Amino acid sequence: MKYKSCIRDLALTLLILAVSSAAMIFLQKAFDMRALAPMVFVMAVFLVSLTTRGYLYGIAASLAGVLAVNFAFTFPYFELSFSAPENVFSGIAMLFVAVMTSTLTTNIKKQERMRAENEKEKVRANLLRAVSHDLRTPLTAIYGACSTVAENYDQLEREQKLKLLHEVCADAEWLNRMVENLLSVTRIDSGQVSVQKSPTVLEELVDAVLVKFRKHYPGQPVEAQIPEAFIIIPMDSILIEQVIINLLENAVFHAAGMTRLVLRVSARGSRAVFEVSDDGCGIPAERLESLFSGAGERDAPPADSSRHSMGIGLSVCATIIRAHGGELRAESAVNRGTTFRFALEMEEDAHEQQ
C-alpha cells in the first residue's frame, strides 16, 4: 500500500511538472512571456504539495522548478548557468518561495487531517452516548422478564409466562438486529465497506416501516403520503428502514403535544425525498446545528419508559444517509413541529416516468 502511494505521488509530481513545462513553452512561443516561468513553477510546486503526501515531493518539485527555469527560460538558454548574480539570486528566491509554499501547504494538510481525526473521535464518542440507551433498554427488558419468570414461576399462569418469553424473544431479536446495523454503520463510517444497495420498491419499504412501527406503537397513528407512481430506489433497505423508524419514534418520545405524525415521500427530479413531520413542541434553533453529531440529540424524558428507543440515534441515521449519497436535515420551530428530510436517487426508469 505504501509502495503504491509512493508511485502515485511520484507520478503526480512528474505529471504536474510536465504540464507546467508544456504550458510555459507555449506561453514563451506564443506570447514571449518568459518572465512568467517562476510563477508557473511555484504554482506547480503548490499543486504538487496539495496532491501528494509529506514534504519530499514538494521540495523535489521546488528544486526541479528552479533548474527548469534556469535551464530553459533564463539566458543563456538551454544550459545551467549560475555565474550571473541575477540568476543566482532569482534561483535562491524562487527556491525559497517554492519550499515555503510546499511547507505551508503540507502543514495545512497535516492540520486538516488531525482536525478530521479529532472530529471522528468526537463523533465516535457522541455516537456511543447516543446509542447507549438503545442497547441498555432491551437488555433491561430481557432481564426484567426473565427475573419475573424465575422468581414467580409457580404463581404465573402459562399464558403470562408465554407472553413474557415472547417479549424476551422480541427484545433479543431487536437487540441482535440493532447491533448488526451498528457494526455495519461503524464499518461504513470508517470506510471499510460501502452500503450494499439493491432495487427497493418504495411502497414495500413504507409498508414494512409502518408494520414494524405500529407493532411497537399501536396507539400512535401515522399518516403516510407516497406517490401513486411505481418508484424503485437503490438502497440498503434494512438500514433505511431503521432510519425512518428512528425518525418516527423520535417524534413519539420527544415531540411533546404532538397530534399529527406524517411520513411523506415525493419525487423531485431524479430523487425521492423522504420527510417525517410532526406538529409537536419543536427543537430550539441553537440545537439544530449539532443535532446529528450525537451531542445535540433531543434529550427530553421519553413519553414511555418501557422502551426508550427502538432506533439507533440521529447521528447514526445521518451516517447511513451520507453513505447512500444523501444528507439528513432537520427543520423546526418551537411549538410548531419538526421535519426531518433526506433524499435518495431513484432508478433511471422510475424518474423518467414522473
CATH number where 272 lies: 3.30.565.10
* Nearest-angstrom CA–CA distance, 103 and 92: 16
Let me know whether 351 and 204 are in one domain.
yes
Domain of residue 85: give its range: 2-116
* Nearest-angstrom CA–CA distance, 182 and 170: 18
Residue listed under C-alpha cell 425518525: 247
pLDDT tens for 178-215 read 776 677 666 666 655 567 889 999 999 999 999 989 98
Query: Is residue 166 a part of any domain in this protein?
Result: no
Task: Report the relative pairing of strands 198-201 and 232-235 from DSSP bridges.
Answer: antiparallel
Let me know whether 349 and 220 are in one domain.
yes
In this predicted structure, the answer to whether residue 129 has a pLDDT above a threshold of 70 is no
Q: Residue 275: which H helix or E strand, with range?
A: strand 271-278
Residue listed under C-alpha cell 451498528: 182
Kindly tell me the burial class for residue 209, based on how many C-beta atoms sit within 10 Å of its own C-beta (0-12, 13-18, 19 or more): buried
pLDDT top residue among 133 and 312 = 133
In this predicted structure, the answer to whether residue 127 has a pLDDT above a threshold of 80 is no
Let me know whether 248 and 101 are in one domain.
no
* Total Cβ atoms within 10 A of residue 42: 21
Confidence (pLDDT) at 268: 92
pLDDT tens for 68-91 read 887 877 777 777 777 777 767 777
Tell me what percent of the residues of the chain surpass a pLDDT of 90.
28
Let me know whether 243 and 106 are in one domain.
no
Residues 140-147 have a mean pLDDT of 90
Query: Is residue 13 a part of any domain in this protein?
Result: yes
In this predicted structure, the answer to whether residue 264 has a pLDDT above a threshold of 90 is yes
* Contact of 20 with 44, CB cutoff 8 Å: yes
Let me know whether 215 and 344 are in one domain.
yes
* Contact of 271 with 345, CB cutoff 8 Å: yes
Let me know whether 93 and 205 are in one domain.
no
pLDDT classification of 309: cutoffs 50, 70, 90: very low
Number of domains in the chain: 2
Work out the angle between the directed axes of helices 56-72 and 85-151 (0-180°, nearest 10): 160
* Contact of 257 with 280, CB cutoff 8 Å: yes
User: What is the three-class DSSP state of 280?
Assistant: coil
Query: Is residue 126 a part of any domain in this protein?
Result: no
pTM of the predicted model over 0.95? no
* Contact of 94 with 69, CB cutoff 8 Å: yes
Listed residues 84, 116, 148: the one ending a domain: 116
Query: Is residue 332 a part of any domain in this protein?
Result: yes
Q: Where are the alpha helices (DSSP H) in 152-236?
A: 158-189, 202-216
Query: Is residue 215 a part of any domain in this protein?
Result: yes
Let me know whether 94 and 211 are in one domain.
no
Query: Is residue 174 a part of any domain in this protein?
Result: no
Query: Is residue 202 a part of any domain in this protein?
Result: yes
Gyration radius (Cα) of the chain, Å = 30
Listed residues 71, 97, 116: the one ending a domain: 116
Let me know whether 239 and 335 are in one domain.
yes
pLDDT classification of 306: cutoffs 50, 70, 90: very low
Tell me what percent of the residues of the chain surpass a pLDDT of 70.
83
- Please give the mean pLDDT across all residues of the chain: 81
Query: Is residue 134 a part of any domain in this protein?
Result: no
Which range (21-30, 148-157, 306-315, 334-343) has the least confidence?
306-315
Listed residues 49, 81, 116: the one ending a domain: 116
Let me know whether 200 and 110 are in one domain.
no
* Nearest-angstrom CA–CA distance, 177 and 238: 9
**Bridge partner residues of 235 (DSSP):** 198
**Bridge partner residues of 232 (DSSP):** 201
